[in-house]
Amino acid sequence: MSGSPPQSEDQRGPGRVIFALDVDRRPEALAWVERLSGAVGAFKVGLELFVSEGPGLVQELVARGERVFLDLKFHDIPATVAGACRAAGRLGAFLVNVHALAGPDALARAAEAAREGAREAGRPAPRVIAVTVLTSHSARDLERLGLSGPPGEAVLRLAALARDAGLDGIVASPLEAERLRRLWPGAVIVTPGVRPAGADAGDQVRVATPAGAVTAGADYLVVGRPIRDATNPRAAAQAIGLEVARALSAPG
């Protein structure tokens, strides 16, 4: 069920970095994959690219030997979430996410269905992780949505739900990673909002450096703009991977 990333592959720094393919066309996506292959551990395909180019692109990346994080945040009735996770498992994504607000039944069926899909396709089972509270939501938004209490409490409550449903981990801001690691020691924790020291935070509010995120307990870092907007994106990705590797090997 849950557990840390496989030692052989993911303990190295670059293997922990996931580049966000936040583009909407196949040629542009493939150009980024060629540019960064080997310098990052995986590529994230989100709603924009998936809706534009479909599952064929995911299969193409997997066939090239790339690892894919399918970031579609499934949120629907249990049967539909299960069907989507089964399909994601068949596609060969190594990481898939669902929205914790889909509820305990959907979460439990998601994990099981993803494993079944992978088995049907003869592929390794993906890790299924949950999104809790979107970081774009303010405390006021949550109140209007009927989620009372501080957002941090909702994050912990929904993370516990995902853990109890048998999921593999959680998407969390670097600033939440430490508390979540205590709540759920075996979770795979994936954090966006990573900014190398001195980089522009853009619209990300709750940010940490790559070393800070890993030290707080993150297993994988999702990075977009700090790599995409760099003068030399491959060098920027490698620098982040190196920073992660150093943080992982630091004593303590």
Which phi and psi (to 5°) does residue 128 adopt?
-110, 120
- Closest separation between CB of residue 124 and ligand C5P, Å? 24
For the record, the structure tokens of 206 come out as 């709750």
- Closest separation between CB of residue 18 and ligand C5P, Å? 9
Q: Which is nearer to ligand C5P, 204 or 209 (CB)?
A: 204
Interface with ligand C5P in residues 28-67 (CB under 6 A): 46
Contacting residues for 8 by C-beta, under 8 A, at least 6 apart: none
Output the CA angle 180-166-73, nearest 5 degrees: 70
For the record, the structure tokens of 109 come out as 């069926």
Interface with ligand C5P in residues 134-153 (CB under 6 A): 135
Q: Which is nearer to ligand C5P, 118 or 227 (CB)?
A: 227
- Closest separation between CB of residue 96 and ligand C5P, Å? 14
For 189-202, give one letter per residue: b (16+ CB within 10 A) or e: bbbbbbbbeebeee
Check residue 26 for interaction with ligand C5P (CB under 6 A): no
Collapsing DSSP states into helix, strand and coil, what is residue 190?
strand
Question: What is d(CA 195, CA 150) in angstroms, rounded to the nearest whole number?
Answer: 25
Residue whose C-beta lies closest to ligand C5P: 224
204, 209, 215, 238: which one binds ligand C5P (CB under 6 A)? 204
- Closest separation between CB of residue 220 and ligand C5P, Å? 11
Mark whether 73 is an active-site residue.
yes
Check residue 20 for interaction with ligand C5P (CB under 6 A): yes
For residue 6, which of 96, 107, 95 has the smallest C-alpha distance?
95
Question: What is d(CA 213, CA 193) in angstroms, rounded to the nearest whole number?
Answer: 9
Contacting residues for 193 by C-beta, under 8 A, at least 6 apart: 135, 173, 174, 204, 205, 206, 207, 208
Active-site residue (options: 44, 67, 73, 195): 73
Check residue 158 for interaction with ligand C5P (CB under 6 A): no
Check residue 191 for interaction with ligand C5P (CB under 6 A): no
Check residue 126 for interaction with ligand C5P (CB under 6 A): no
Note the residues at the interface with ligand C5P (CB under 6 A). 20, 22, 46, 135, 192-193, 202, 204, 222-226
Catalytic residue positions? Answer: 73
